[in-house]
Amino acid sequence: MYLRHEEGDSYYLAAYGDWQDFTLVLHEGDEWGCKNVAWKVSDEDDLESYQERIEESGYDAEFVDSEKPGIGNTLRFDYPGASPEYMELVYDVARAFDTVPEENRSRLKNQPTRKPEQGAGYRRIDHVNFNLSNASECAQWFQDVLDFNLREEGLGPDGEQLAAWLSVSPLVHEIAFVTPPEDGNALDKIDHVAYYMDGGQAGELERTADLLKERNIEIVGGPARHGISQAHFMYYVTPGGNKVEVFSGGYLIFDPEWEPITWTPEDGSDGFVWWGGKAGSHARRQYDFVPTDETDWSEHDAYPIRTRPEQEPPE
């Protein structure tokens, strides 16, 4: 990824195909997690409209001056979820086409930045995923208040919604809400942020796996393929403790009469892992759903991913 700005202990990054000036901000801190997620509205007048709708739903929303470079008037708001700390709606956002230094520009007129000559070739940000104790409530709120569309969902044995994948674009999801087991370690926290790359399983994703292994960064899920979204995936944990998904392939939704896809316990593990991995202990470990009690899950190759033995990257 490209470092766009550095201000104090904050680092602003973007993938080569991101049209915004930056899509990820890293802050130094004592704990892993997500401070905020921002969404861009299509019309500036939408900001006041959404402020009214958010407040009518029972949550605070106020306009603030953004501390981030290139961001204009910002509507900061709360919602039913415990993570992130807050969310934002914005309209004025600096475009990469206007901010990328000349030496990093692509000769392609429809691509702001040239492909990086080293590191993983992330094209763009894809989605965020949160593990929340009230995932279904948050999903419904996003539909009712922010006009997101439910694309796919996972149900429990009693028909209760345990997970939801939502978007406002043809992507299968730009945000997902998942209900983790009560004994998991990642309750009411972000699960991961995902970046999209070209090439599917045997392309940039495979190369990224090699780059991670060369640096002793453990891959905690995949490479494999989801049933939900049909995307190829791989998960790893950064040195700071946050999890990143490498995301490739998948399908897009253009049907105006699209109906949400529902996965049930009868579908087994096909929704999470279509092929390339096992869902049971594999899923518990990948999602850091290993119980916090004294149970020894090591025989299942399952243990808290953020408390595993530290591995030093090569010099």
| Banded model confidence at residue 277, pLDDT cuts 50, 70, 90 | low
Q: What gap in Å lies between CA 27 and CA 128, rounded to an integer? A: 17
Rounded to 5 degrees, what are φ and ψ at 11?
Answer: -125, 125
CB 70 within 8 A of CB 94: yes
Main-chain dihedrals φ then ψ at residue 25, nearest 5 degrees = -120, 125
Q: Which of 104, 229, 88 is nearest to 171 (CA)?
A: 229
Side by side, the strands of the sheet bearing 73-77 are 36-40, 86-90, 73-77, 61-65
Task: Tally Cβ neighbours within 10 Å of residue 197.
Answer: 25
Mean pLDDT of 136-149: 98
| Percentage, residues of the chain above pLDDT 70 | 85
pTM over 0.85: yes
CB 151 within 8 A of CB 254: no
Predicted confidence at residue 241, as pLDDT, reads 86
Rounded to 5 degrees, φ, ψ at 18 are: -65, 130
* Residue that wins the pLDDT comparison between 254 and 202: 254
Q: Chain-centre distance of CA 273, in angstroms?
A: 18
DSSP letter, residue 84: S
pLDDT of residue 262 exceeding 60: yes
- The residue behind tokens 């956002």 is 93
CATH class of 1-118: alpha beta
Homologous superfamily (CATH) of 120-315 is 2,3-Dihydroxybiphenyl 1,2-Dioxygenase, domain 1 (3.10.180.10)
Say whether 81 sits in a helix, a strand or coil: coil
Tokens describing residue 237 = 């944990």
Q: What is the pLDDT of residues 169-192, one digit of tens each?
A: 999 999 999 998 776 667 899 999
- pLDDT on residue 90: 96
Amino acid at position 313, single letter: P
For residue 297, pLDDT beyond 70: no
Backbone φ/ψ region at 70: left (φ over 0), alpha (ψ -120 to 50), beta: left
Collapsed DSSP state (helix, strand, coil) of residue 124: strand
**H or E element in which residue 120 lies:** none
How many helices (H) and strands (E) are present in the chain, helices listed first? 5, 16
Q: Which run of H or of E encompasses 230?
A: none
Q: Which two tokens stand for residue 184?
A: 């998991």
Q: Which amino acid is at 226?
A: H
The 10s digit of each residue's pLDDT in 201-248 is 667 888 899 999 999 888 888 888 999 999 999 998 888 889 999 999
Tokens of 298: 């090591």
Q: How far is CA 99 from the centre of its chain?
A: 25
Burial (CB < 10 A; 0-12, 13-18, 19+), residue 276, is: middle
Burial label for 79, CB within 10 Å (0-12, 13-18, 19+), is: buried
Indicate if 120-315 has the same CATH topology as 1-118.
yes
What was the pLDDT predicted at 285? 52
- Enumerate the domain spans of the chain: 1-118, 120-315
DSSP state of 105: B
- 274, 283 in Cβ contact below 8 A? no
